Amino acid sequence: MAETRDVFSIIDGEPHRTDAPSVDIHNPGDSDDLVARAQHADADAFVAAARSAKAAQLEWRRVPAPVRGVAVHELGLILDRNKEALSQLVTREIGKPIAESRGEVQEAIDTCIFFASEGRRLYGQTVPSEMPDKQLFTFRVPVGTMAVITAGNFPVAVPSWYVVPALLAGNAVVWKPAEYTPAIADAFTRLIHAAGFPPSVFQMVLTDGPQTTVGLERAMAEDLLGKVGFTGSSEVGRSIGELCGRNLVTPTLELGGKNPLVVMPDADLDLAVEGALFSGFGTAGQRCTSLGVAIVHESIHDDFLARFDAAARGAAVGDPTEPVLYGPMISQKFADTFERWLEKLEPHHALHGSTGQGRITADNPREGFVGDPGKGLYYHPTIVSGVTMDDVLYQQETFGPIVPVTRFSSFDEAMELANGHGYGLSSSIYTTDPRSVFRFRENITAGMISVNNSTSGAEAHLPFGGNGKSGNGARQSGIWMLEQVTRWQSMNWDYSGKLQKAQMDVATFEADRDFTL
């Protein structure tokens, strides 16, 4: 049996021990495996970490940006050297299939590779003035101290999207990871410190949601935070956005998704099914970019559904250390939520994709299951056809291995179905007609579009984020994240030796406006 880790918040580089009882974190794919004993801190610890981070940021911002980029480069190298160990820990703590875990850690490495050189490209501008003997400049400056609160379904990749560019730009970070990924958070924090980042510049606080809210409110009241980054549910994101608004702190909100996959009549159906299978059931449907609703043209609906049903029935499900489509639910919390979704099935719905429904057990088996279903939080894949816009399965994010399917007759109807739920994160269209592609791009409200590919998948140099219920329009990854972790500062330098007043002392030309040839 692998080692059980005792983990704590890490404040100023040291474990923050309290009198609170430890919380046991078990492997969701093997309940006999105790991954970690985590001791939670409270709001006081969060505020203390923010105070220390703000003080440390004053020195960190003075480190030249190219030198900060060297630390980012070192982090990428350290992550690469520890890629397999960290990937195995991701699989062990949240049950993500090992191939996906390795891809996630690679995403963090790619983020470091991208941003390492951005330390030499934090460009400002020289701007011509409307007056003589005067120069105008713009500069990027750090936002200060950034609180980062992340979900646990991508416990390495998503934090890296915030932390790496924030530190590169000269900010300090207080990170609150998900309660159910403390071992990964501990490991990632130690790797960041090993790369050379000052311990007080990057703080990690293990605590629960209510204590986080109290800590955020107090830290903002003391003017300790210049930014809040949050990845999680739309409901919690809304409350964090309200809290930030009251304190005039700008949030970066990356929230849930109900990502549509539109299948046009000219689509390659086998390719569309492959994309739907991965985006619908990869990570057991526990991604913000998971397929939310498959929208299929009526002329091919039955054919698509039959192929999708066969693909789901034949997919390998089970032990995440083996080559499987998906493993267990991340934690009991999400398993309980998913079971409540299964209670919302309506009489007009038809089920496909599996011979069973709900949790996979010895009494409710799945043919071809990989491993021992009794050891973990494993659930049958469920495809639900006959879904309408009035159904809660259409209207809300489900976050589990369930894919609603509906049909359309016209392109306008497809777009109404693709946008009608109010989310706007990811989207996909399967077609061979360029006109359909561009009409889709023009009309979709989502921040991200895939053509003949799944709704899931991100690259470190492309903007990631959504609109509506999916976020406040902020974008992560690539150069676009610099807009979240820096502010623009302008400077004018007048060397004329006299006071020149803009718009008042501007030279003009005398023109004869009555002149004609």
What is this structure's pTM? 0.95
The sign of the torsion formed by the CA atoms of 51, 53, 57, 58 equals positive
| Residue 216 maps to a domain | yes
**How many residues are recorded in the chain?**
517
What is the span of the domain harbouring residue 420?
Answer: 259-460
Residue 189 maps to which CATH number?
3.40.605.10
What does the alpha-carbon distance between residue 119 and residue 168 come to, in Å, rounded to a whole number?
Answer: 6
Same domain? For 205 and 165 the reply is: yes
Same domain? For 50 and 191 the reply is: yes
Going through 333-455 in order, the beta strands assigned E by DSSP cover 350-352, 382-385, 402-408, 423-424, 428-430, 450-451
| Residue 497 maps to a domain | no
Residue 359 maps to which CATH number?
3.40.309.10
Q: Which residues contact 504 (CB under 8 A, 6 or more apart)?
A: none
For residue 361 the two structure tokens come to 């057990």
Chain centroid offset of residue 193 CA: 23
Domain count of the fold of the chain:
2
Q: Which residues contact 481 (CB under 8 A, 6 or more apart)?
A: 161, 162, 165, 475
| Residue 506 maps to a domain | no
The sign of the torsion formed by the CA atoms of 444, 447, 452, 454 equals negative
What does the alpha-carbon distance between residue 451 and residue 449 come to, in Å, rounded to a whole number?
Answer: 7
Catalytic residue among 79, 151, 288, 293: 288
| Residue 103 maps to a domain | no
Same domain? For 251 and 263 the reply is: no
First CA to last CA distance, the chain: 94
Using the 3D structure, point to which of 441, 460, 479 is the last residue of a domain: 460
Is 293:405 a contact under the CB 8 Å cutoff? yes
Q: Which pLDDT does position 1 carry in this prediction?
A: 62
| Residue 510 maps to a domain | no
Chain centroid offset of residue 429 CA: 22
| Residue 442 maps to a domain | yes
Same domain? For 245 and 292 the reply is: no
What does the alpha-carbon distance between residue 382 and residue 373 come to, in Å, rounded to a whole number?
Answer: 17
Same domain? For 311 and 392 the reply is: yes
What does the alpha-carbon distance between residue 104 and residue 224 come to, in Å, rounded to a whole number?
Answer: 31
Q: Is 499 helix (H, G, I), strand (E, B) or coil?
A: coil
Same domain? For 347 and 399 the reply is: yes
Amino acid letter for position 287: R
Is 153:177 a contact under the CB 8 Å cutoff? no
Same domain? For 218 and 347 the reply is: no
Same domain? For 365 and 427 the reply is: yes
DSSP H helices, 28-120, are 43-60, 65-81, 83-94, 98-116
Same domain? For 56 and 173 the reply is: yes
* 112 counts as catalytic: no
Same domain? For 216 and 316 the reply is: no
- For residue 423, give Cα distances in angstroms to 76, 276, 511: 33, 18, 55
416-425 pLDDT, tens digit per residue, is 999 999 999 9
Same domain? For 173 and 317 the reply is: no
A 10 A CB-CB count for 298 gives 12
| Residue 48 maps to a domain | yes
Same domain? For 206 and 312 the reply is: no
Q: Within the chain, which residues score under 70 in pLDDT? A: 1
| Residue 248 maps to a domain | yes
